[in-house]
A and B are shown apart, each in its own frame.
Chain A
Amino acid sequence: MNAVAPSTLLALDDISLSFKGVKAITSISFSVAAGEICALIGPNGAGKSSLLNVINGVYQAQSGSISYAGQTRRRMRPHQAAEDGIARTFQNIALFKGMSVLDNVLTGRNLKRRSTWLEQMLRVGRAPAEDDEQRWHAERIIEFLRIHPWRHALVGKLSYGLQKRVELARALAAEPRLLLLDEPMAGMNAEEKREMSQFIRDINRELGTTVVLIEHDIGVVMGLSDHVVVLDYGRKIGDGTPEQVRSNPDVIAAYLGTRRSQSARSQ
Chain B
Amino acid sequence: MSQSLPQALLQQSQTRGAQAALRYKQLGIWQTRSWSELAVEVSRLASALHQRGFGARHDLLIISEARAEALLLALAAHWLGGSVSLLDPAVDNRDLLPALAPDFAVAEGLEAVGQLRSAPPRVLIFLDKRGLSTAPDKGLVAYAALLDGVHAEPPRPAVNATTHAFIFPSINGLLRQELSHRDLLLGARQLIDVQGLDNHEQALAARVFATSGQARYLLAPWLVAGFCLNFPEGLSTRDNDRRELGPTLVLGTRESYARLELWARERRPLPGSLSHVLYRWAMNPAPGVLRRWLGHWLIRRPLLDVLGMSRLSKPLLVGEPLTPQSTAFFSALGIEPRSLSAVANANVPADLPASVSPQPA
Measured CB to CB, the residues of A under 8 A from B are 102, 135-136, 139-140, 142-144, 148-149, 151-152, 202, 205-206
Contact = CB atoms under 8 A, between A and B. Distances in A.
A172 to B, nearest CB: 14
B59 interface: no
Greatest chain A CB density within 10 A among B28, B130, B134 is at B28
A143 to B, nearest CB: 6
Nearest to B133: A206
Contact of B27 (A140, A152, A205): A140
A149 B28 contact: no
B213 interface: no
B321 interface: no
A214 B233 CA distance: 34
A136 B26 CA distance: 10
Interface residues of B, number: 12
Nearest to A153: B240
A149 B236 contact: yes
Contacts, number: 31
Contacts of B237: 148-149
13 contacts: A135-B29, A136-B27, A139-B27, A139-B28, A148-B28, A148-B233, A148-B234, A148-B237, A149-B237, A151-B28, A152-B240, A205-B133, A206-B131
Contact of B131 (A142, A148, A151, A202): A202
A143 B133 contact: no
Dominant SS at the B interface? loop
B130 A202 contact: yes
Contacts of A148: 28, 233-234, 236-237
A110 to B, nearest CB: 19
Nearest to B237: A149
Interface string B22-34: 0000011100000
Majority secondary structure of chain A interface residues (helix, strand, loop or mixed): helix
Contacts of A140: 27
A140 B128 CA distance: 13
Nearest to A151: B28
B175 to A, nearest CB: 35
Interface in B12-29: 27-29
B243 to A, nearest CB: 11
Contacts of A149: 234, 236-237, 240
B133 A142 contact: no
A142 to B, nearest CB: 7
**A-B residue pairs, 4 tightest by C-beta:** A139-B27, A149-B236, A139-B28, A149-B237
Given A148-B233, A149-B234, A149-B237, A135 B134 contact: no
B44 to A, nearest CB: 24
A139 B29 contact: yes
B134 A205 contact: yes
Given A148-B237, A149-B240, A206 B27 contact: no
A142 B27 CA distance: 8
A198 to B, nearest CB: 9
A132 to B, nearest CB: 9
Interface string B223-252: 000000000011011001000000000000
